[in-house]
Structure 1
Amino acid sequence: MSPDLRKPGSVRSAAVVNAEIRALWARSGGRLSAVDEAVYQGLLVEWAAAVATAPARDGDVPDAA
């Protein structure tokens, strides 16, 4: 799904976004087209947001403060 088609504010899990990133790389054979690169960059932003908003789990290392 194109990042432009998602509802603003909707958040998918980091695992789901990561799976989409892996599938993109697999489909591209490791060489992203300009369109794929744009999709990849959007997915990276989405993945980072998902990681930042995910609740901490047992075994996670807290950020150093």
Structure 2
Amino acid sequence: MSFTPSPTGAARPASAVNAEIRALWSRAHGTLSEVEAVRYERLLVEWAAAVRADTDAAA
């Protein structure tokens, strides 16, 4: 599953990013390649932003 930003620039929900993180680790069998590690770092940043957005919206 590859990330394709929406044309409107809307952020994906944290649950969608989390699912992609889980799939990445599942495919990697516990060891990430350099390319996968970079992807993982980007997903973590995206996930953290989505969680912050969810928290801000709930407040």
Shorter-normalised TM range: 0.7 to 0.9
**Structure 2: where are the runs of 5+ without partners?**
none
> How big is the shift at 1:10?
2.7
**Structure 1: where are the runs of 5+ without partners?**
57-61
Matched, 1:32 2:32: yes
User: Where do 1:8-47 residues align within 5 Å?
Assistant: 9-47=9-47
TM-score of the superposition, structure 1-length normalised? 0.74
TM-score of the superposition, structure 2-length normalised? 0.80
Tell me how many residue pairs correspond in the alignment: 55
Aligned counterparts of 1:23 and 1:42: Cα–Cα separation in 2: 14
Alignment identity in percent?
A: 53
Higher helix share: 2
Answer with 1 or 2: which has the greater Rg.
Answer: 1
